[in-house]
Amino acid sequence: MEINEALARYIQYLYVEKGLSQETIKSYDSDLTLFMATLAGIQDTRDLHSHDITDFMQLQSHCGKSARTINRRLSVIRQFYLFLERDGIISEHVSKIHAPKEAVFLPSYLTMEEVEQLLEAPNREKDDEMRDKAMIEVMYASGLRVSELLSLSRGQINFEKGLVTIYGKGNKERRVPIGEFALDYVKEYIKGARERNIGRHSKYLFLNKFGKPISRQYFFLQIRKYAKRAGITELISPHTLRHSFATHLLENGAELRAVQEMLGHTNIATTQIYTHISRKRILSAFDLYSKRK
């Protein structure tokens, strides 16, 4: 059965048999749509597996979602799978999938070598990959949130001063430095792929082939594609680049307060989690060195 048909059946079941409110059904539908967006290329229920749920939970944690949010989404997805099981549409058993109990997590990040491999993965001879190359470079060079990257306008980048003006959460303005490499690739994209795009007069910097802003789901799938091409086996998301940006800054001696300002964190405690990552990495390297001795 096609996944879209299975989803339609489930939504009808929630409405007719469960008697849920429109708002609750809308919330369920939103969580399921988010989950399905991570299943690249899967269109039939025969290709659904319980490990897809585990991968999704891991990805949500990597993206900084709280245990409460992950548990809620897990509950929705699990109920959908159970519905498919009861109707004989799939044979997977999801009852043994455990919800996360810890609210505190360490964000995943890439090594500098892995970042280099990811940055080199796009083929700049293709318009869409030239754009993706610029997007990945900008995200790693500035530590922007995914929403901030996708909503960037050309006017927010000061090419002369090497600064990006961001309007973050609560419409708070911050200016983030951005390196020459990233700016050069943005210029290449603007003069090339973007100039050839039907939406070249749009205020948005990064556009899809229809001249519209890039969606979060699409960019996530592109990151997965380039990670696979680069030989990165860990499940990563666009947010992984933001985590890597912060971790690498601290590992190279940047002050915590400066990193907090660049990331746009209101509370420095949010930024301090990256110091735990750095210490953990250093201790792991020391342990490895000791074992070799």
Residue numbers annotated as active site: 145, 169, 239, 242, 265, 274
Q: Using alpha carbons, select from 62, 73, 65, 64 the residue that is nearest to residue 99.
A: 73
Q: Helix or strand or coil: residue 157? A: strand
Distances from the Cα of 289 to the Cα of 19, 165, 279, 282, 292, angstroms: 61, 43, 15, 11, 5
The radius of gyration of the chain's CA atoms, rounded to the nearest angstrom, is 21
